[in-house]
């Protein structure tokens, strides 16, 4: 059986702030607000080289 890793370090692409977070198991995380600069982040679906990424781990700024 594959172990599921729920701990993830999120890095804000706007200010570089990093924080270890535990991903929720009972809901989806669509948006995340950086605690440092308060930019709202949303998940990316692809990496820079075009591969699909885990939905909740790769965040980018979301314009409000």
Put simply, whether the predicted model's pTM sits higher than 0.75 gets the answer no
Token pair recorded at residue 47: 């990496």
pLDDT of residue 56: 47
pLDDT truncated to tens, each residue of the chain (64 aa)?
778 888 888 888 899 999 998 888 888 777 889 999 999 988 765 555 555 555 544 555 555 4
Please give the span between the terminal C-alpha atoms of the chain, in angstroms, as a whole number. Answer: 41
Classified as helix, coil or strand, 57 is coil
Parse the chain into domains and list their residue ranges: 1-64
Output the furthest CA–CA distance in the chain (Å, rounded): 41
pLDDT of residue 60: 57
How far is Cα 24 from Cα 15, in angstroms, rounded to an integer?
24
How far is Cα 38 from Cα 52, in angstroms, rounded to an integer?
26
């Amino acid at each position: 059986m594959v172990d599921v890793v729920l701990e993830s370090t999120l890095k804000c692409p706007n200010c570089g702030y990093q924080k270890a977070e535990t991903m929720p198991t009972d809901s989806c995380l669509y948006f995340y607000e950086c605690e440092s600069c308060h930019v709202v982040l949303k998940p990316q679906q692809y990496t820079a080289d075009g591969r699909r990424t885990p939905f909740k781990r790769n965040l980018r700024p979301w314009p409000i």
